[in-house]
Structure 1
Amino acid sequence: MKFLKLIRYQNLLLLAFMQLVFRYGFFKVQNIPLALADWQYGLLVAATVLIAAGGYVINDIFDQKTDTINKPNAVVIGKNISETQAYNLYIILTTLGVAIGFYLSNVIAKPSFASIFILIAATLYLYSTSLKQMMLIGTISIALLLSFSVVIIGIFDLYPATGIDNQQQMGLFFSILLDYAIFAFMINLLREIVKDIEDTDGDYNQGKNTLPIAIGKSRTAKIVFGLSFIPLFFIVYYVNKYLFDLLFVTLYMLLFVVGPLFYFVLKIWSAKTKSDFHFLSLLLKWILLFGILSIIVISLNIKYNA
């Protein structure tokens, strides 16, 4: 159980679920050609999850002192798992993930694509060692990595199956993936900043230079308040322009994405305590989940012409 806690298994399950939803809740329903067999796509999911798990481990290795202050009950390294064991675990997880990525790159006859997995693993390592010390750089990096876990589906499953005869169709599906990647980036960026506010005390004691440390929790919360309107307007515009004719999709988005996001906007303005920001961070995770699930609702609504 301590191992699962260390690798943030809930987040990894969400990541895997997100990637499975796009393939089996959208692409398969649309009956389009795909480059990877089911078991190969499973390997793509596994590679993403393994590298992400390695990222969590290396981050905890370098965050031991900070976590002792921010979340003492959640500390695993140094209590249940030694630092040496954690390093070995990081090497195993990351090496397996990159190796699977190398195999899949050769499967689709694009061996240079293996560099994508190396770059992701390297970014996670740099985040843990240096990027998160830089104001907003680390926050933006993590948000981009999550959004890229959506884009990578198109790179390995759509792009190799694209030809002259289906280029327009596949381009449409790839653009939909990009739209969801942008959504994931915006929501996760807000969440990472909220988590920085929540962890201000521990980060300050470790000499980190996060936004709330530089300008204060209250001002940072107000910035998040302003930034929150970007995804809110983006989603409302998207629904109005592309999905308004789909009744069930429109209702779903209003109830499970737009509504909770509007509630977040209202609550972030007055949030002050650590528990307030923890709740808002969790709320954003649910918004992200329901936003990703909307692709299934869209598929079913189109299929049954509801």
Structure 2
Amino acid sequence: MNFTTFLKLVRYPNLLMVLATLILTKYALVYSYLPVSVLSDFDFVLLSISILCITAGGYIINDVYDVQTDGINKPHKQLVGKSIHLETAKKTYAILTIIGVALGLYLSISKELYSYSLLFIGISLSLYIYAVFLKRTPLFGNILVALCVSFIILTLLLFERPNELPNNIIMVFQQLFTSIGISTAGLFYIIFSFLSTLIREIVKDIEDINGDHAQKMRTLPLVIGKQRANRVAVFFTVCLLVFIIFVMKMELVDYPYFLGYTLLVVFAPLLYFLYKLAIAKSTAHYHSLSSLLKLVMVLGIASMLFFTF
């Protein structure tokens, strides 16, 4: 397996998106509110490598258990079983996951935040369980993936505020109606990541319905039907739009640039996404919608930059 093939295997564009999310959370969002950062630059590098390795391992193990399905849904993109031997993929998954969890354990222990070790162990186990079992179940697998994605931001915030965020989560929700702090701002992006990922996972399941059906999987579109699954995706998209309206209303006074950016670059494309989703029919339609939503996710996370103004 050459380096180019390896990059494709670990979904390097997605990993770059994860890395960008971590960098923006650390150097835009956290630095805007906290004068002193708990994590040094070196600690941040270790945490980033840990999360990237665990995420890459999740992509690989997903491909390992999707060899037959991918052969139907996307034969031109399939790597495992073609360009990469199945056993090689399994070993690469094991190495990356071990490195990711080990770095997470080291960082947790060095900061005397021993319980945080469970985050890295739990996320790696969740990605494995999803690939082996939950991907073949309706909605639960989608929710698990969305939770894992949202945990990228949450994990960093937990390390930056070890004595506050876990113990005072009620105060975080109280701040939603009073003032904007780091905990509240972080919560916005956690919810945004969760909902947008959940919608995209449902859309991808609809896109892959033929291959999933051939493998007798029980994804949401196969259990309740393609049109009903579409309506579920529409419902969550409406929820996301309402949530963004709520956020824009809160940010109107203190962050006018954030408001304008979110309205034009995130909210408007999501409205277009909702319209196209409501009339989507073919696999090509859902593939385009998945790509559009991925772009919206990137642009949404990029709005963290406006907290520095």
Query: TM-score category by the smaller chain?
Result: over 0.9
d(CA) in 2 for partners of 1:43, 1:240: 37
2:222 aligned residue:
213
For residue 182 of structure 2, what is the aligned residue in structure 1?
A: 173
Separation in structure 1 between the aligned mates of residue 115 and residue 238 of structure 2, nearest angstrom: 39
Q: Does 1:10 align with 2:19?
A: no
**Selected match of 2:290 from 273, 281, 299:** 281
Moved more, 110-119 or 52-61: 110-119
1:119 aligns with 2:128: no
Q: Distance in 1 between matches of 2:281 and 2:20?
A: 33
C-alpha spacing 1:81/1:179, structure 2 compared with 1 (3 Å): same
- Give 2:153's aligned residue: 150
- Root-mean-square deviation (CA, aligned residues, Å) is 1.8
Inter-CA distance 174–31: structure 2 relative to 1 (3 Å threshold): closer
Which digits, 9 at most, give the CA deviation of each residue in 1:137-174, with x for residues without a partner? 10110001001111001111222589xxxx999x9312
Match in the other structure for 1:51: 54
1:42 aligned to 2:8? no
Q: Secondary structure at the match of 2:37?
A: coil
TM superposition score normalised by structure 1: 0.92
Q: What pairs with 1:191-206 in structure 2 (closer than 5 Å)?
A: 191-206=200-215
Pairs aligned (count) = 295
Query: Displacement of 1:114 after TM fit?
Result: 1.1
Deviations 1:37-86 (A, max 9, x none): 10110110110010010011111011000000011011111211111111
* Counterparts of residues 213-252 of structure 1 (less than 5 Å): 213-252=222-261
Q: Find the residue that maps to 2:162 and give its secondary structure.
A: helix
Cα separation, 2, equivalents of 1:88 and 1:199: 27
2:28–2:307 Cα contact (<8 Å) kept: no
> Which runs of 5 or more residues in structure 1 are unaligned?
301-306
In the alignment, what sits opposite 2:106? 103
Aligned to 2:85: 82
Deviation (angstroms), 1:244:
4.5
Please point out which of 22, 25, 30 is paired with 1:27.
Answer: 30
Tell me, in whole angstroms, the C-alpha distance in 1 between the residues paired with 2:298 and 2:139.
24
Any stretches of 5+ residues in structure 2 without a counterpart? Answer: 166-170
Aligned partner of 1:304 in structure 2 is: none
Which residue identity does 1:120 align to in structure 2?
I
Identity %: 38
Going by fraction, where is helix more abundant, 1 or 2?
Answer: 1
CA contact (8 A) 1:190 1:228 kept: yes
Would the aligned equivalents of 1:187 and 1:231 in 2 still touch at CA under 8 Å? yes
Q: 2:262 aligned with 1:253, yes or no?
A: yes
Secondary structure at 2:35's aligned position in 1?
A: coil
Query: What is the SS of the residue equivalent to 1:159?
Result: coil
Tell me, yes or no, if the aligned pair for 2:33 and 2:181 is still in contact at 8 Å. Answer: no
Write the deviation string for residues 225-282 of structure 1: whole angstroms up to 9, x where unpaired. Answer: 2221101011011111233453221110111110001001111011011111011111
Q: Deviations over 1:150-203 (max 9, x none)?
A: 1001111222589xxxx999x931222122101110111000000000000000
Counterpart Cα distance in 1 of 2:188 and 2:245: 13
How far off its partner does 1:219 sit? 2.2
Residue identity opposite 1:271 in structure 2: A
